[in-house]
Amino acid sequence: MTEENLPDEPGAESAAADELAFDVDDLPGGALAALEAVLMVADEPIPAVRLATVLALPTARVEALLDELAAEYRGDLGGRPRGFEVRRAGDGWRVYSAPVYADVVGRFVLEGQTARLTQAALETLAVIAYRQPVTRGQVSAVRGVNVDGVVRTLTTRGLVAEVGTDPSSGAVLYQTTGYFLERMGLSSLDEMPPLAPYLPDIDSFEGVDQAIGDNR
């Protein structure tokens, strides 16, 4: 049997078919646009070899395309500098916001996170801290107002967290977090001032969760 008549290796035909299933150069914007599309959905740096596999292109060409994109985003090719850049991070590549805009991006990311808590939020946080674990319904009963929005704010700020459900009502239980202790300068809840005796006993509000349907 001659070499020409030897049977193909297993999977060779399917691999070749996969490589020919599409040609990124035929897509709108060509290989550059295809590369951008992949990088835009990456949540971690992607090695050039992996990008080459996805695009069915030689690794050397993908690396050249990455360099071209980086230059384009910097404005080196005649266009305006972009607010983002593509750069190597470790063994891979990823799109990042440009460092020069760090202050602007920081304001967006931290918006509301450094603002002082409202009086309502502080009162709600105090009830949770001294009577945890506690449901939203129980906190609402103590404060006399609905606290759903306030609890969501405290959860977003990382000061309280869900810790399970109440066995009798199925309502979500909340308690303070380690970040709460850090912000308060405490090493444990035992160091909090003795305010608890002035708060009503949570047991006195048994059944309040069923009454308001707080089983989320």
Cα separation, 170 vs 137, whole angstroms: 11
Alpha-carbon distance 39 to 94, whole Å?
6
Per-residue pLDDT band for 213 (boundaries 50, 70, 90) equals low
CB 162 within 8 Å of CB 173: yes
Residue 87: CB partners within 8 Å, gap ≥ 6?
A: 70, 93, 94, 96
13-17, 37-41, 44-48, 207-211: range with lowest mean pLDDT: 13-17
Q: Which helix (H) or strand (E) holds 136?
A: helix 136-143
> Which position has the token pair 């035992």?
190
pLDDT single digits (tens) 178-188? 888 888 888 88
Question: Residue 144's Cα: distance from chain center in Å?
Answer: 34
The pLDDT tens digits of the residues spanning 46-98 come to 999 999 999 999 999 999 999 999 999 999 999 999 999 998 887 889 898 89
Distance CA 138, CA 118 (A): 20
Contacts of 157 (CB under 8 A, 6+ apart): 113, 117
Q: Is 5 a residue whose pLDDT tops 50?
A: no
Is 20's pLDDT higher than 70?
no
Which is higher by pLDDT, 6 or 93? 93
- List Cα–Cα distances, 47 to 27, 90, 130, 202, in angstroms: 22, 9, 50, 55
CA dihedral of 175, 178, 181, 185, whole degrees rounded to 10 = -170
Q: What is the pLDDT of residue 214?
A: 56
- Place 6 in a pLDDT band, splitting at 50, 70 and 90: very low
Q: For the whole model, what pTM was predicted? A: 0.47
Give strand pairing partners of 85: 96
**Confidence (pLDDT) at 47:** 93
